[in-house]
Amino acid sequence: MSAGGAGPTLVLVVIVGVLVGCGVSLLLERSLTRILLGVILLGNGVNLLILLGGRPGVAPVVGTGAVEEMSDAVPQAMVLTSIVITFGLTAFLLAVGYRSWYLTGDDEVPDDIEDRQIIRRAERDEVTTEDLGGEGADADPEQVDPEPARRRLRRGEGVE
């Protein structure tokens, strides 16, 4: 089965590139469905990439062939795990997409509102917090605790 020997196999190398490239193109989209399809393509490509790290051969089942001719079992165990995790991720992202559709009628990923607000702040040269502690323009800045207990008592808050 292993006509190529120890070196890499060009067909597999190319197909890894194609799958990853297509996956990335979809990943950069706005629609969650497309992003998810991109993740799946990317996953397939990367699984093959991991597999390429080991050597091809006969199935790694003792007794079916010579041990020297067996394919590498370690990347296979890793990839098997990865396939199942990708499935879990697929289901999760689909649920996210459904939720997004349920709430907004679409599954597009919009820009983050908080981030846009910060960008607007930056453009207007503002700060993030209003809690700068200034007690008003007329107050003496050294009288930083200007509220004596009596006022608090009057408000019925108890002392301290």
Residues numbered 32 to 91 that lie near another protein (CB under 8 A) are 33-34, 37, 40-41, 44-45, 47-49, 51-63, 67, 70-74, 76-77, 79-81, 83-91
Q: Is 136 in the site for another protein (CB under 8 A)?
A: no
Check: CB of residue 82 under 8 Å from CB of residue 56: no
Q: Output the smallest distance, CB 66 to another protein, in A.
A: 10
List 125, 136, 137, 156, residue binding another protein (CB under 8 A): 125
Q: Output the smallest distance, CB 1 to another protein, in A.
A: 6
Q: Is 138 in the site for another protein (CB under 8 A)?
A: no
Q: Is 10 in the site for another protein (CB under 8 A)?
A: yes
**Beta bridge mates, 31:** 108
Q: Output the smallest distance, CB 93 to another protein, in A.
A: 10
Q: Is 21 in the site for another protein (CB under 8 A)?
A: yes
Q: Output the smallest distance, CB 137 to another protein, in A.
A: 12
The continuous run of DSSP H or E covering 12 comes out as: helix 10-27
List 136, 137, 138, 144, residue binding another protein (CB under 8 A): 144
- CA-CA distance, 29 to 75, in Å (whole number)? 31
Q: Is 104 in the site for another protein (CB under 8 A)?
A: no
- CA-CA distance, 7 to 86, in Å (whole number)? 29
Q: Is 126 in the site for another protein (CB under 8 A)?
A: yes
First-residue to last-residue Cα distance in the chain? 83
Place of tokens 């003792």: 62
Angle between helix 10-27 and 32-52 (nearest 10): 160
List 137, 138, 155, 159, residue binding another protein (CB under 8 A): 159
Q: Exposed/middle/buried for 43, CB within 10 Å: 0-12, 13-18, 19+?
A: buried
